[in-house]
Amino acid sequence: MIKNYSITYFTSCDYEEIISLWEKSVRATHFFLSEDDIVFYKSMLENGYLQNVRLWGIKNSDNRILAFLGVDGNNIEMLFVDPDKRGMGLGRELVKYAVCKLKCNKVDVNEQNEQAVAFYDRMGFVLQSRDDNDSSGKPFPILHLIYH
């Protein structure tokens, strides 16, 4: 675990770095996505999606983002960790913050992202329902999880 960190609220000034970290993380974990899929989802982030979520994250002592979380209402909309920092508890701390402080109790996760599914299971989330396609209509099954 990284010592002496704090969870910080991010603003539009952080979007460029958030998108860069998002892409790095997706390329390291979302093996089921094609290059065209990555470009498609990245364009959504670049064209306003981040304005629809409240963003929190953890930065290092050099003020670089190590992990971030996006929330809308009581839903965790996104959680991404720098691949070089995975396994250090950053994602766990952000989810605990979302559940305890932000009162989030739901998350959607790609069924094909088995590591994320297992992570949320360890964090206490259980399956509520499943969709065959994601919210963009793409054939990536989505698991709707609820905190139990």
Please check whether residue 119 lies inside any domain of the structure. no
Please check whether residue 43 lies inside any domain of the structure. yes
Q: Structural domain of residue 47, as residue ranges?
A: 7-108
Q: What's the pLDDT tens digit per position in 47-56? A: 999 999 999 9
Q: What is the CATH number of the domain that holds 41?
A: 3.40.630.30
Give yes or no for a contact between 120 and 109, defined as CB atoms under 8 angstroms apart: yes
Please check whether residue 145 lies inside any domain of the structure. no
Please check whether residue 62 lies inside any domain of the structure. yes
CA-based nearest residue to 116, from 147, 108, 40: 108
42-to-7, 25, 61, 96, 141 alpha-carbon distances in Å: 24, 12, 27, 26, 19
Q: What's the pLDDT tens digit per position in 33-87? A: 999 999 999 999 999 999 999 999 999 988 999 999 999 999 999 999 999 999 9
For the chain, how many structural domains are there in total? 1
